[in-house]
Amino acid sequence: MLSEKHISIVKSTIPLLESAGTAITEHFYQRMFSHNPELKNIFNMSHQKTGGQPAALFNAVAAYAKNIDNLGALSGAVERIAHKHTSFNIQPDHYPIVGHHLLETLRELAPDAFTPDVEEAWGAAYGLLAGIFIQREDELYQKSANQPGGWLGARQFRVVEKREESNLVTSFIFVPIDELPVIGYESGQYLGIKVAPTNHEYLEMRQYSLSDKANGSSYRISVKREAVGIPGVVSNHLHDYLNVGDIVDVYPPAGDFHYIEREAPVVLISAGVGVTPMQSMLEMLADKQFDKPVFYLHACENVEQHSFNQRVNLLSEQINLQHHTWYRDTSGLNDADNNANIQQGFMNLALLKSQLPVTDGDFYLCGPVVFMQFAKQQLVALGVNDDRIHYEVFGPHSDL
């Protein structure tokens, strides 16, 4: 436990942290990768270039400092990060490296304020937090290893199918080369994979949402090809170079965002490739013959970029499913596509107010952050309670 002195000193440094902002975490990552370049085989370097990861880490550090005397307020963040860490195969011996570079960053950026007392307090605070993560991650590792079909660390899988779902999204189906069963997962969770991109200096690890129901024998991910000029080292590598018969390292499914069984109506809201965890939930609900209303609401650029469209039409014949689509560009539609369930422009949930289960349903969101903020604002305006709105951010976390 931290002493009252430690807590007081850490909280006293909050103004210093806030004034420095992401300069702290940017310096931290530059320092760590300079001294420990092997960590570039673990961290997503694209998120370093965009600034997303330094910003996410700064927000996490600041939140920890502000809540250091009330760690229960951080339980959600700890769970989310611990799941992410297990999909990167983070181990206890990584934590001293991170802690060392964090303290040295504070020393180098604020030498006058980084007194021995501040160093001791932040060292103790980091040690406590590292211990919390190590313990929770060990629990998650053991849970994955001890369930039927489970394993620890990397396991080799072979691509057995590569299929286009739309003109930007391609699905990959993996089976283990040992031909043994695989662990199940909650719909909404993701799969960690490690690849060696062509003409790339480092190994890359990524997480992609599982896009089908669990079946005990294979996994399916559906990956969007990123446009030119947008970081997408791994996604473009998968599209261009990963083919049937190729082998990749796979880590057990993880993620704190997933379907929650409440015996209540379900509303699945997505944009673009955010459709993938929603498709997993829909496949699972159809498989179990879910008897409550299900709404599948999706927005994308045009019909050519609409993934799983035909599959959703088929599933609507099996369960109580209503699906509605918003296209920015409707020029590619034909007469068969042009029906009452298709709208042009931005998603407008007010049009469905009389149909949506505003008072008792569970609402799941996935897509670009700005889209989810837009959708959540509409849901709140309709009267949906915040605790029934669940969401997943692809990449570094951001609050809606």
Predicted confidence (pLDDT) at residue 46 exceeds the cutoff of 90: no
For residue 334, pLDDT over 80 is answered with no
| Chain segment 20-30, per-residue pLDDT in tens | 888 888 999 99
Distance separating alpha carbons of residues 235 and 27, to the nearest angstrom: 28
Specify the pTM: 0.92
Around Cβ 67, how many Cβ atoms within 10 Å?
14
DSSP-H helix ranges across the chain: 4-12, 14-20, 23-35, 45-50, 52-66, 75-87, 94-109, 116-146, 233-241, 275-287, 309-315, 369-382
- Cα torsion 276, 281, 285, 287: sign: positive
**Domains in the chain, please, with CATH?**
4-146 (1.10.490.10), 155-254 (2.40.30.10), 266-392 (3.40.50.80)
pLDDT tens digits, one per residue of 197-234: 888 888 899 999 999 999 999 999 999 998 655 567 89
Q: Which residues are catalytic?
A: 95, 137
Per the annotation, binding residues for heme b are: 85
User: Average pLDDT of 323-343?
Assistant: 81
Is the pLDDT at 47 greater than 60, yes or no?
yes
Q: Which residues are annotated as a binding site for NADP(+)?
A: 272-277
Overall average pLDDT of the 58-64 stretch: 86
Which residues are bridge partners to 247 per DSSP? 158
User: Which pLDDT value is given to residue 144?
Assistant: 96
**What is the DSSP code (8-state) at residue 328?**
S
pLDDT at 192: 96
Amino acid 396: pLDDT: 55
Q: Binding-site residues, please?
A: 85, 190, 206-209, 272-277, 393-396
Contacts of 397 (CB under 8 A, 6+ apart): 56, 77, 80, 81
